[in-house]
Structure 1
């Protein structure tokens, strides 16, 4: 995509009300292709009188705005940087669709903004990438010599799908969850979402772009529970080295979260930047050649590659099966309701077991859909009993109850199959087939295992 960057002040440069003595903020807008992006340039007071290093902040995942990075921008400005932060594009970016190449275009458009400023040293304009930005920034830097250096925070050296599964399992373990849900959501769920196209750029490989980079790189992690820190550090350093880039500095900050804000355990999100983080950046930019690599931190678990789903478990097949089961169970319950309203008795010898079967099956399916979405989006398991989430236990109990009702229905139907109408045989036969399909589905999603 062609890049064009035109910075225009939306008004005279104005100082932040509480930080007039520390930094000056100026609103700008610039273009990346046919999209107009809005941002803020934060500069030290008096920056116009001398040229300083410039840095563009590239977002983490989600519809992020510059407001989320104001603490970073102000701290970096106080350390001597001219900082551009901007609102992430909404065109072409959503929960289920995004392009790292397109986001890299946006970052490079920001670089052009800083290159055009009189208070910025054009030989020291860099990119700062946080989390998802750790995939975007190397791609941008590998395509432009105008990027002088790269700073990565909480970057992942593995694919988004692999990182997501690792992060989800960490969160669930931290919440005290054990058992089958630990595999269902992080592994099975991630594979399903990736197959369904609901996890954008799921299989993106960050290593080729890193191998093409020639800029000095400073990569930093805290007690990271979202991107595997030790694993990512090794992968990123190796990829850069394989490409001939040896100017690589790795730093690790204890008591910091994914974003290098203060945190007691890496899960709790802090408001303050961890001490030493921005100072490390400023000292490093002042002299790239002085590398002080830290020892790798402890990482309790390695991430694991996620293979694609086999054809018979593909998201399309599962979705069709899910819809078929819901319709079948709901139709049977509707038929039973009509029977009750007309005061017609159940089929002799079968009793109410088919009703319980259909009700338990439908409740399990709809409950699972809601709970899976909740855990994936939050990610929070809800109340935990022992090491099992209460909602998950309920779904497993419903599954067990459905299995008992299915056996009772099958036994009753076998006894009366020759004495009931063809319509009753057809309804019970369909219910039996749906139950068989349900068992296979429940096995896949871990509802039948402890």
Structure 2
């Protein structure tokens, strides 16, 4: 009976308590991660934009003419720089012609890699087109000034207007993607611009668009719900290293001064843009400016840039050219909204700002420094042991590591039983979990941007990261259990100042990393 009672007591005080303490630790970290906020809870879009007809044909569009095209490269002088631009002119067209300047998105920068089809079809239809290279000396990942960029593109408008074959009163702009934040600035600052074409325009500020795109990408990839917590915590924080002021640029005030006719074009397969919300906002902003001439077209399954299978949609080229050539008759022609019925599940909305970890520099430095501290602290014991062995040899004493000799070695400084093992498991485990989590986020980002999914990565790797996180908590429990037991027996836990400091520092750095992992959702329990 006594042996059975002791066995039951061992069960209750051994593995059972370790498991219970681990579960408690995970729950505490989950609650802490939830309280550190913010959460991600996008608002559903409940006011859909209904198309009037599935046909994208432009009302009052004329029969397009077909001209030969002559191309040449010209130089656009900017403030302190110059760029090359490709000019495409219809051969044999009579009288001053309508002109159009193309504004690049984020993914393009030169005339030989962008807008080839659009510029060609417009030129063949009698419009003089100018595709300038993007100015890159003031354009970086960290710095983009959309107002200044609008001034640079305005130089291209001025150059096009100066050509003898171009009617200076009939020059408009075509903007795609990121250019959708530039063209409204140009139109607001220069009311004599005749028209604006916005293709795959974000409309909302870049930070909101980034969070919206990340949400859609992650949903399409099929990631576990806990990963969504990273959206506001990554997108909402200040980016490490500074810069990125443009991420909060709001084009609304310029759109509300945009009186020109506007053609807005989206593909219903473009999950990176708020295709319903964007069109509705431009319609409202134009109304505030006193204009109702906003024409919206949606193309079935077309992705960003109005492409299907990598090829630009022919109907889009036809409709866009018809709208431009047919102005002003096409500006207010019915139908105003047509094509494939668009769907947008959630609103692109302001991103909650992290309360505690808003500063990206602090987050990056904390992660890197804590990992380095853990790794360095783990080297203290072997270095200290080597120093003690060397000191013992110099005094002619037996090597404490070997235990040789008949008398006890004079310096035997070792961690108490179990402490080194579990401290090492905690330190190595938490660093590996951090590295695994960072790898997972990067892998998910790559899948999302490629519009692909991989169940082994999406679900399997997430389970693996979370399992590692739980094992790290278990190692922490076992470490503190070893410390408590050795203290109860009067055994020094970490003899020597170096070992004592190393143990405390390693535990503190590991605790910081555990809190960071909790913040990013590794321990979330649906809280």
Q: Determine if the TM-score, normalized by the shorter chain, exceeds 0.5.
A: yes
Corresponding residue of 1:317: 362
Q: Tell me the distance in 2 between the aligned counterparts of 1:283 and 1:308.
A: 45
User: Closer, same or farther in 2 for the Cα pair 1:99/1:291, shift >3 Å?
Assistant: farther
Query: What CA deviation, in whole Å up to 9, does each residue of 1:233-280 have, x standing for no partner?
Result: 11111111112222221222213112112x2xxxxxx33221322222
State how many pairs are aligned: 422
> Partners in 2 of 1:240 and 1:43 — Cα distance?
31
Gap runs ≥5 in structure 1:
1-19, 264-269
1:361 match: secondary structure: helix
Match of 1:274 among 310, 313, 319: 313
**CA shift for structure 1 position 134:** 0.6
Per-residue CA deviation, residues 317-352 of structure 1 (Å, 9 max, x unaligned), is 322321331122111233355368775854324141
Larger Rg: 2
How has the CA–CA distance of structure 1 residues 26 and 254 changed in structure 2, closer, same or farther, with 3 Å as cutoff? same
Is residue 2:505 matched to residue 1:441?
A: no
Moved more, 193-202 or 393-402: 193-202
Structure 1 segment 265-304 matched on structure 2, within 5 A: 270-285=309-324, 286=326, 287=329, 288-294=331-337, 297-304=342-349
Q: Decide which of 362, 366, 371 is 2:435's aligned counterpart.
A: 366
Residue 388 of structure 1: SS of its match in structure 2? helix
CA distance 1:196–1:159, shift in 2 (3 Å): farther
Q: What's the TM-score once normalised by structure 2's chain length? A: 0.74
Deviations 1:385-415 (CA, angstroms, capped at 9, x unpaired): 3783444443323322221212212222233
CA distance in 2, matches of 1:376, 1:28: 40
Q: Which residue of 1 aligns with 2:476?
A: 406
Equivalent residue, structure 2, for 1:388: 458
The partner residue of 2:261 within 196, 200, 216 is 216
Cα distance between partner residues in 2 of 1:444 and 1:291: 51
My pick for the range that moved more, 385-394 or 89-98, is: 385-394
| 1:70–1:105 CA distance, 2 compared to 1 (3 A) | same
Take 2:243 and 2:470, find their aligned partners in 1: how far apart are those partners? 30
What is the alpha-carbon distance in structure 2 between the residues aligned to residue 90 and residue 161 of structure 1? Answer: 22
Match of 1:240 among 286, 311, 317: 286
Q: Match of 1:163, SS? A: helix
Q: Which moves more between the two structures, 119-128 or 381-390?
A: 381-390
The residue aligned with 1:352 is: 421
Query: In the alignment, does 2:132 pair up with 1:57?
Result: no
Distance, in Å, in 2 between the alignment partners of 1:25 and 1:162 is 39
Contact 1:153 1:219 in 2 (8 A): yes
Q: Give yes or no for contact 1:80–1:282 (8 Å, CA) kept in 2.
A: no
Higher relative contact order (CA 8 A, sep 6+): 2
CA distance in 2, matches of 1:247, 1:111: 22
Secondary structure of the equivalent of 1:322? helix
CA RMSD of aligned residues (A): 2.7
Question: Is contact 1:177-1:387 (8 Å) kept?
Answer: no
Distance 1:183 1:117 in 2: 54
Which blocks of at least 5 consecutive residues in structure 2 are unaligned?
Answer: 1-65, 390-400, 402-412
Aligned-partner Cα distance in 2 for 1:439–1:366: 13
| Structure 1 length-normalised TM | 0.85
**Deviation of the 1:83 alpha carbon:** 1.2
Secondary structure, aligned partner of 1:202:
helix
Which whole-Å deviations, capped at 9, do the CAs of 1:206-257 have from their partners, x for residues lacking one? 2111001121111111112111111111111111111222222122221311
Q: 1:165 to 1:150 in 2, by over 3 A?
A: same
Find the partner of 1:423 among 498, 511, 520.
498
Partner SS, residue 57 of structure 1: strand
Partner of 1:99: 145
Match of 1:335 among 350, 374, 380: 380
Larger deviation, residues 348-357 vs 414-423 = 414-423
SS at match of 2:295: strand
Distance in 1 between the 2:467 and 2:450 partners? 21
Counterpart in the other structure of 1:125: 171
Deviations along 1:156-194, whole A, 9 cap, x unmatched?
A: 22111111111122222222323222332x332212355
Say which SS state the counterpart of residue 151 (structure 1) adopts.
Answer: strand
Distance 1:388 1:449, change over 3 A: farther
Change beyond 3 A, Cα 1:305–1:331: same
Q: Residue 221 of structure 2 contacts residue 458 of structure 2 at CA under 8 Å; is this kept in 1?
A: no
